[in-house]
């Protein structure tokens, strides 16, 4: 299940998971069946979990939090893309500024969670980067169970939002109403 990840570790790749990763096959297939709004709700929800892990190491760094908060406002039509895009780019900038490879990957995942408001295809970026972070946290060894557990979390949350996205009372930006 993790043969491709092992190959990427040996090649010293920075990102250890891709859309084609065997281990992500189920979540990718499930994502492909979702509306844009469902992917937005899922990404912002899961992104907050990732944010907690990041803030446990960098509690004073606010740019990843601002990214998710502003992207949620963007999804609701409360701000324009320009402001949210700046916050997404600032989140990715944090990853470039810190030396911690684990938190770099978390930042990139959070940035992709926010960018899902723009296009649903960004949603897979969150698992790609967060799962990479989990492998790094485990020193590239004995990571399988932690990764499997996180993938189960993603699947559970996607099933939740799949069944509840249209039930929540939320004002959507006009571009998301067309979904």
Domain assignment present for residue 1? The answer is no
Closest C-alpha to 81, from 121, 123, 115, 31: 115
Is 173 a member of any domain? no
Per-residue pLDDT tens digits for 47-99: 999 999 999 999 999 999 999 999 999 999 999 999 999 999 999 999 999 99
Domain of residue 61 covers 22-167
pTM for the structure as a whole:
0.95
Domain count of the fold of the chain = 1
Residue matched to tokens 């502003």: 70
| Position 177 in a domain | no
DSSP, residue by residue, 146-175: HHHHHHHHHHHHHHHHHHHTTTS-----HH
Residue 135 lies in a domain: yes
d(CA 99, CA 74): 30
Question: Which are the contacts of 168, defined by CB distance < 8 A and separation ≥ 6?
Answer: 41
Question: Across all residues in the chain, what is the average pLDDT?
Answer: 96
* Cβ–Cβ under 8 Å, residues 53 and 136: no
Distance between CA 151 and CA 86 in Å, rounded? 29
């Amino acid at each position: 299940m993790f043969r491709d990840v092992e190959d990427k570790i040996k090649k010293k790749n920075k990102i250890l998971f891709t859309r084609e990763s065997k281990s992500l096959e189920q979540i990718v297939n499930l994502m492909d069946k979702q509306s844009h709004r469902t992917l937005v709700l899922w990404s912002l929800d899961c992104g907050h979990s990732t944010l907690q892990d990041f803030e446990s190491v960098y509690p004073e760094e606010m740019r990843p939090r601002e990214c998710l908060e502003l992207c949620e406002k963007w999804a609701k039509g409360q701000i324009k893309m320009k402001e949210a895009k700046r916050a997404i780019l600032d989140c990715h900038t944090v990853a470039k500024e810190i030396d911690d490879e684990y938190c770099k990957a978390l930042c990139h995942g959070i940035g992709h969670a926010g960018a899902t408001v723009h296009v649903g295809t960004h949603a897979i970026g969150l698992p790609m980067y967060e799962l990479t972070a989990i492998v790094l946290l485990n020193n590239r060894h004995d990571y399988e169970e932690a990764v499997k557990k996180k993938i189960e979390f993603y699947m559970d949350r996607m099933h939740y939002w799949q069944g509840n996205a249209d039930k929540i009372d939320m004002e959507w930006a006009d571009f998301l109403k067309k979904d």
